[in-house]
């Protein structure tokens, strides 16, 4: 199966930012979540995938097309929506739907009407009167009804109220059932990434911190609570964070395996609890670890 | 009807999505079906604006032959409508598209920077020159039919073409810089220069001297000025389009 997206040693330099030799692969039919703090490089990656900017070095291939040279071919099969993307305020959603339909032969009018009902949207209302949630839903209708092979979403759920977020995530989960459709999305919400994605790319200051399938990645982390006094400085591989409060210690560990419990015991500690971590906890621990370094 | 070219991606025997290299090679450099849709979109979004300017322009022509003060008021109104129409639609189609972030919506469509440049060239020229031509024809008709002296024709035509030159300068600058500040500065500068241009054309012995003649007088000087104006328009448009279409990416 061909990859939907292939980045090979991609670099992009701005005055205050450097995307550093990024390798990225999204197999067809997979969902990738891009996670990172503001300025991590998520939007830069998505813009490279859309061919809107050119890499300084390295190569970007999307749906088998070299970008930015062949962006027109790639974009015929891409649906892109960004949190800050706006529609023409003086026109209504119906007009936008006709406009998109005139450009994309793959437009599915029945699915578009289904989405209108599902999102409870009034297609005759001018878009300048839309709330943020309605704008996001309108963008999703316009991109999903064209049945793209690759969906690119830049912060799709940012700023949505809980009900809108639930509806949007539900529809995204629905479209992910199609095995030929690939999705890449960026989000501050690690919950969304955890809920939807098959793989995770963790970006920080233009560098890849992690790039793995979600289950393996999350499974590799543990939060260990223990007590006692260290009889020597803690010597354990993969410790991302150590917080001590008197004789109580909280250790966050990556690439965890059961042998680590024995090693902690050897170092004079009594392990009281070993917990799985959420993606959010992992995200925070990783970023703080880098900040400390 | 859907004019867009069929996708060039096919499934091969293994079910992989393979790229048809010959389709890429044979495809025209510009995606004209989508460019047409973008031009239509700009026309549709600006239709009320254009109607307002043309309507006010026609109103100014209705009063222009009614008397002396009506002539001055009508001619200033007509010039203002032509200048405002050009600048306003540039602001809506190019500056606001960036400011209000509808550009991201356009960039998500199957267009390259060259397609976008061509679409903006065509739409801005159609949006300006169609109503402009209407107003120029109407002004010519008013001069020739009403008691106004027919000698005004040459002067009026040269001023109208000069306004078109100014519009093309504004378009070129906006396409090149894509910034509101520069657009505004150039627009203000050109508007300030319009008055001296009016003065010199009116004072020209070969052009303005015939303004009050009962018949149309077309001199060699008028031809030279007109050719210079048209040449300036062609050079500005071709040059800007050439440099802009060489961009590989939007940003």
Span B229-240, pLDDT tens digits:
999 999 999 999
Beta strands in A15-140 (DSSP E): 17-27, 31-35, 57-62, 65-67, 78-82
pLDDT at B135 over 70: yes
Predicted confidence at residue A177, as pLDDT, reads 72
What mean pLDDT is reported for chain A?
Answer: 89
Q: Do A82 and B104 touch (CB under 8 A)?
A: yes
Dig out the tokens for B167 from the structure.
């519009």
> Between the ranges A168-172, A243-247, A260-264, B224-228, where is the mean pLDDT highest?
B224-228
Share of chain B above pLDDT 90, in %: 75
Taking CA–CA distances from A138, the nearest residue in chain B reads B105
pLDDT at B9 over 50: no
Task: Give the best residue of A50, A102, A144 to mutate against chain B (max B CB count within 10 A).
Answer: A102
Mutual orientation of helices A109-118 and A93-103 as an angle, nearest 10°?
Answer: 150
Predicted confidence at residue B19, as pLDDT, reads 59
Beta strands in chain A (DSSP E): 3-14, 17-27, 31-35, 57-62, 65-67, 78-82, 150-154, 182-187, 199-204, 207-213, 222-228, 239-245, 248-253, 269-276
Task: Give the best residue of B5, B20, B249, B251 to mutate against chain A (max A CB count within 10 A).
Answer: B249
Task: Give the best residue of B107, B123, B178 to mutate against chain A (max A CB count within 10 A).
Answer: B107
When pLDDT is averaged across residues A277-284 and rounded to a whole number, the result is 89
Give the gap in angstroms from C-alpha B48 to the nearest C-alpha of chain A.
Answer: 10
More confidently predicted of A177 and B185: B185
pLDDT in tens, A215-228: 888 999 999 999 98
* pLDDT-based confidence at residue A100 (cuts at 50, 70, 90): very high
Predicted confidence at residue B45, as pLDDT, reads 92
Predicted confidence at residue B21, as pLDDT, reads 64
pLDDT in tens, B77-109: 999 999 999 999 999 999 988 888 888 899 999
Which residues of A are less than 8 Å from B19 in CB distance? 63-65, 73
pLDDT at B24 over 70: no
Predicted confidence at residue B26, as pLDDT, reads 64
Q: Do B105 and A85 touch (CB under 8 A)?
A: yes
Answer yes or no: are the C-beta atoms of A53 and A71 closer than 8 Å. no
pLDDT at B16 over 60: no
Q: How far apart are CA A181 and CA A75, in angstroms?
A: 14
More confidently predicted of A168 and B190: B190
pLDDT in tens, B161-175: 999 999 999 999 999
pLDDT at A174 over 90: no
Q: How far apart are CA A64 and CA B112, in angstroms?
A: 17
Which residues of B are less than 8 Å from A179 in CB distance? none
Instruction: Report strand pairing: A269-276 vs A222-228.
Output: antiparallel
Which residues of B are less than 8 Å from A2 in CB distance? 16-18
């Amino acid at each position: 199966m061909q990859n939907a997206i292939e980045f090979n040693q991609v670099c992009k330099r701005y005055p205050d930012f450097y995307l550093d030799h990024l390798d990225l692969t999204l197999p067809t039919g997979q969902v990738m979540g891009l996670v990172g703090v503001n300025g991590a490089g998520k939007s830069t990656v998505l813009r490279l995938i859309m061919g809107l900017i050119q890499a300084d070095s390295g190569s970007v291939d999307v749906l088998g097309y070299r970008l930015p040279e062949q962006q027109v071919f790639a974009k015929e099969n891409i649906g892109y929506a960004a949190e800050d993307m706006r529609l023409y305020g003086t026109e209504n959603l119906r007009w936008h739907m006709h406009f998109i339909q005139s450009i994309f032969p793959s437009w599915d009018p029945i699915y578009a009407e289904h989405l209108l009902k599902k999102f409870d949207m009034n297609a005759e209302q001018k878009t300048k009167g839309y709330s943020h949630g309605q704008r996001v839903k309108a963008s999703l209708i316009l991109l999903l009804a064209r049945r793209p092979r690759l969906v690119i979403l830049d912060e799709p759920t940012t700023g949505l109220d809980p009900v809108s977020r639930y509806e949007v995530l539900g529809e995204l989960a629905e479209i992910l059932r199609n095995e030929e459709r690939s999705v890449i999305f960026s989000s501050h919400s690690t919950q969304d990434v955890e809920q939807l994605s098959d793989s995770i790319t963790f970006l920080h200051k233009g560098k890849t911190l992690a790039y793995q399938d979600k289950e393996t990645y999350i499974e590799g982390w543990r939060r260990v609570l223990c007590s006692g006094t260290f009889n020597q400085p803690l010597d354990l591989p993969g410790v991302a964070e150590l917080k001590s409060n008197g004789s109580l210690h909280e250790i966050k560990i990556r690439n965890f395996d059961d042998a680590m419990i024995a090693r902690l015991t050897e170092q004079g500690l009594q392990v009281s609890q070993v917990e799985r971590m959420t993606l959010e906890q992992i995200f925070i621990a990783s970023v703080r670890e880098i900040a400390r370094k | 009807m859907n004019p867009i070219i069929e996708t060039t991606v096919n499934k091969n025997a293994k079910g992989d999505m393979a790229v048809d290299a010959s389709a890429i090679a044979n495809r025209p450099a510009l995606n004209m079906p989508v460019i047409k849709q973008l031009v239509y979109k700009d026309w549709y979004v600006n239709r009320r604006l254009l109607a307002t300017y043309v309507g006010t322009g026609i109103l100014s022509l209705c009063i222009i032959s009614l008397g002396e003060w009506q002539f001055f008021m009508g001619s200033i109104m007509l010039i203002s409508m032509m200048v405002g129409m050009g600048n306003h639609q540039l602001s809506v189609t190019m500056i606001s598209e960036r400011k209000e972030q509808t550009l991201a919506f356009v960039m998500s469509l199957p267009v390259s920077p060259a397609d976008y440049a061509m679409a903006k060239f065509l739409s801005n020229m159609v949006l300006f020159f169609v109503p402009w031509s209407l107003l120029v024809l109407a002004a010519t008709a008013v001069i020739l039919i009403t008691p106004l002296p027919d000698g005004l024709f040459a002067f009026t035509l040269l001023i109208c073409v000069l306004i078109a030159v100014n519009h093309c300068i504004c378009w070129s600058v906006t396409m090149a810089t894509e910034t509101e500040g520069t657009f505004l500065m150039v627009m203000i500068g050109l508007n300030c220069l319009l008055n001296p241009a009016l003065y010199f054309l009116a004072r020209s012995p070969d052009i303005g001297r015939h303004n009050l003649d009962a018949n149309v007088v077309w001199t060699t000087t008028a031809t030279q000025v007109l050719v210079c104006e048209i040449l300036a328009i062609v050079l500005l448009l071709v040059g800007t389009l050439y440099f802009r279409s060489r961009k590989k990416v939007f940003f």
